[in-house]
């Protein structure tokens, strides 16, 4: 019986994901969170560079200035995860792309890197109903107020629909 044993230096396994806050950003300021997950050997000296080349879209650097790129030194990461938050600003609705590059070294000093393109959908929010559910029983008269708020959408008209188990009534 022959057994082979190989000793190697494993590459750290690093993945990138992202999300925004709010989860469906509208024009204006919002936060992009880039989540870095790691398994394997220690990833040392993680550095993240985020660039954009879109009209009307900006990254906000730590001095609160509009910028087309931001470079962050994240440091070392053992098995687990961390995240980097970036503030962004969109002048209008649209689909925006960010180019993300992550570089790091393993414990023996071997360099690794990865690049990714993040796609952000920014759109104006529509109307939002804020209030309680209104119940009206047969033969009952109830006077209620509702609030409908335009959260930035460019809508000319809105329709309120009252529903019953028998039929719909629009006003």
If one counts the domains in the chain, the total is 1
Question: 122 and 93 in contact (C-beta within 8 Å)?
Answer: yes
Q: Is the pLDDT of residue 133 over 80?
A: no
Question: 135 and 149 in contact (C-beta within 8 Å)?
Answer: no
Confidence (pLDDT) at 77: 84
Residue 62 lies in a domain: yes
Residue 149 lies in a domain: no
Q: What is the pLDDT of residues 34-89, one digit of tens each?
A: 998 888 778 889 999 999 988 999 999 877 788 899 999 998 888 888 899 999 99
Confidence (pLDDT) at 41: 75
Q: What is the CA radius of gyration of the chain?
A: 25
164 against 32, higher pLDDT: 32
Q: What is the pLDDT of residues 151-161, one digit of tens each?
A: 555 666 666 66
Confidence (pLDDT) at 100: 94
Residue 137 lies in a domain: no
Residue 169 lies in a domain: no
Selection from 76-80, 131-135, 141-145 with the highest mean pLDDT: 76-80
Q: CATH number, domain at 69?
A: 2.60.40.1530
Distance CA 5, CA 112 (A): 25
Residue 140 lies in a domain: no
Residue 68 lies in a domain: yes
Residue numbers of the domain that contains 41: 13-122
Confidence (pLDDT) at 98: 93
Where do runs of H (alpha helix) occur along 17-171? none
Q: What is the DSSP string of 46-73?
A: EEEEEEE--TTEEEE-TTS-EESEEEEE
Residue 171 lies in a domain: no
Residue 98 lies in a domain: yes
The pTM is what? Answer: 0.67
* Mean pLDDT, rounded, for 123-133: 66
């Amino acid at each position: 019986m022959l057994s082979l044993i190989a000793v190697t230096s494993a590459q750290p396994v690093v993945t990138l994901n992202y999300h925004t806050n709010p989860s469906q950003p509208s024009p204006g300021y919002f936060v992009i969170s880039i989540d870095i997950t790691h398994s394997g050997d220690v990833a040392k000296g993680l550095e993240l560079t985020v660039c954009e080349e879109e009209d009307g879209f900006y990254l906000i650097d730590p001095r609160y200035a509009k910028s087309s790129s931001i470079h962050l030194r994240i440091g070392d990461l053992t098995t687990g995860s961390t995240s980097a938050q970036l503030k962004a600003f969109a002048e209008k609705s649209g689909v925006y792309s960010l180019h993300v590059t992550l570089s790091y070294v393993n414990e023996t000093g071997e360099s690794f890197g990865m690049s990714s393109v993040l796609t952000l959908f920014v759109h104006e929010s529509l109307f939002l109903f804020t209030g309680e559910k209104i119940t009206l029983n047969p033969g009952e008269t109830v006077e209620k107020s509702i609030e409908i708020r335009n959260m930035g959408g460019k809508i000319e008209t809105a329709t309120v629909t009252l529903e019953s188990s028998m039929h719909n009534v629009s006003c």
